[in-house]
Structure 1
Amino acid sequence: MSSHTSSRDRVYQVSSNRESASHKLRYVEGSAPASGECRLCVGSLAQAGKNDVPVTVQTASSENIARLAFFEKQLYGNDAYSSLFFYQALRQWPGSFLTIKSDEKVAGYSLIVPLDGSRATLMSLLIGKSFQGQGLGRILLEQAIKSAAESSWKTLELSVAPDNAAAIKLYKQAGFSVIETIQDYLGPGEDRLIMSRAL
């Protein structure tokens, strides 16, 4: 299914001037974080005092991939998703692969993938390093949930480290609740809470 199909190519006009928050946002990451930083996070949520700039969220296109791969490499080095991964995601899940633009510049992405016929998971959400601190992470999270709700899925899931209290609080505010704990979810010692919300 093409990412240009009119029924799936939706653009959301939103404001980047949101309430203050300091938690950073990322969903699947296996490398060790800096001290005090969320293991599954990269893109900053809103901070007060930022100027309003035009922000849009829309389905990804092949023209975005080089920039997204650059953001990944910049933030995650050898653990980054590759361009090949993004091309595969674009072919397999075009309607649930979103990008966010700030002042017409691609600033990050989110990816939701199916688990089965009724469930999907928010696999990744990333805001580029130079765009952090503008509230784009929260905006993209909101729009990813909205996009998933417009699909045939009934439930959206994600994973989070059990000791990541800030992320757990954020997800609960977005309507997620903990449904189980899985040991070694991302490898030995990498336990995760699975959180879920109805769509």
Structure 2
Amino acid sequence: MTEEKASRERIYQVSSNRERASHKLRYVEASAPIEEDCRLCVGSLAATDHNENEFSIAKTVYDDIARMAFLEKQLYSNQAYPPLFFYQALQQWRDTFLSLKVDNKVAGYSLMVPLADNALALMSLLIGKSFQGQGLGKELLHQSILLAQSLHYKRLELSVSPKNKSAVCLYERFGFQTTDSIKDYLGPGEDRILMSLPLAKT
């Protein structure tokens, strides 16, 4: 990380309140669907450097939700998470719910959900359509990993479509390893690779 990046404000709230998710997670591992693919198979987490716009990553607050829901609807139409989901997520998983802002405007978010055995699942990571291709998804993933480490979780898990080669390669570059491959994991024809990243102690 450059000195310029290090100087940018990143605010994380650390808490020992780690509620276990009680429902089946709908993992989203990138920022935009590709042609003939669903929102669970996307793989456009940018690997290039971001532009010169000032960006910050901080814990999500209520004022972020309207913009967040707009970005969801813009990308995913009827499959988008509704505003109510974000309000519930903020109540339940406040400490692992991050907003990425460009020039103080919400441009994306990352949501990690506690699992059993002191692990986290990357439930959703989104970069708005007009902010893609700037390396912001890569940066948000990196900061999500750092946050998980700072909260002393043991590992970070996610699922990804086996057809999504670019996303798999990106996760591997961050140190994720394949732990399983499950046919029809999210329904007929929705196969998934499960990946896990051991988190170093900070």
The two structures have a TM-score, normalised by structure 1, of 0.80
Partner of 2:13: 8
SS of aligned partner of 2:84: helix
Alpha-carbon spacing, 1:47–1:7, altered in 2? closer, same or farther (3 Å)? closer
Structure 1 residue 117: Cα displacement: 3.7
CA distance in structure 2 between the aligned counterparts of 1:52 and 1:191, rounded to whole angstroms: 38
CA distance in structure 2 between the aligned counterparts of 1:102 and 1:167, rounded to whole angstroms: 23
Partner of 1:45: 46
CA distance in structure 1 between the aligned counterparts of 2:30 and 2:46, rounded to whole angstroms: 17
SS of aligned partner of 1:100: strand
Contact 1:43 1:127 in 2 (8 A): no
1:106-136 per-residue CA deviation (whole Å, 9 max, x = no partner) reads 1000000011141111011001111112211
Structure 1 residue 166: Cα displacement: 1.1
Partner of 2:4: none
Structure 1 residue 35: Cα displacement: 4.7
Contact 2:43 2:167 in 1 (8 A): no
Structure 1 residue 183: Cα displacement: 1.9
CA distance in structure 2 between the aligned counterparts of 1:176 and 1:139, rounded to whole angstroms: 16
Matches for 1:143-182 after TM superposition, within 5 Å: 143-182=143-182
Matched length: 175
Matched residue type, 2:89? A
Matched, 1:122 2:122: yes
> Structure 2: 5+ residue runs without aligned partners?
1-10, 15-27
CA distance in structure 2 between the aligned counterparts of 1:123 and 1:74, rounded to whole angstroms: 19
CA distance in structure 2 between the aligned counterparts of 1:7 and 1:138, rounded to whole angstroms: 18
Partner of 1:85: 85
Alpha-carbon spacing, 1:120–1:7, altered in 2? closer, same or farther (3 Å)? closer
Alpha-carbon spacing, 1:75–1:51, altered in 2? closer, same or farther (3 Å)? closer
SS of aligned partner of 2:186: coil
1:65-92 per-residue CA deviation (whole Å, 9 max, x = no partner) reads 0111111111001100010100010000
SS of aligned partner of 1:137: helix
The two structures have a TM-score, normalised by structure 2, of 0.79
CA distance in structure 1 between the aligned counterparts of 2:72 and 2:39, rounded to whole angstroms: 16
Alpha-carbon spacing, 1:91–1:122, altered in 2? closer, same or farther (3 Å)? same
SS of aligned partner of 2:133: coil
CA distance in structure 2 between the aligned counterparts of 1:61 and 1:38, rounded to whole angstroms: 25
CA distance in structure 2 between the aligned counterparts of 1:8 and 1:38, rounded to whole angstroms: 29
Alpha-carbon spacing, 1:51–1:182, altered in 2? closer, same or farther (3 Å)? closer
1:144-172 per-residue CA deviation (whole Å, 9 max, x = no partner) reads 01101111310100000112111111000
Query: Identity across aligned pairs (percent)?
Result: 49
Partner of 1:188: 188
Matched residue type, 1:100? L
Partner of 1:57: 57
> Structure 1: 5+ residue runs without aligned partners?
1-5, 10-25
SS of aligned partner of 2:166: helix
Question: How large is the RMSD of aligned CA atoms in angstroms?
Answer: 2.4
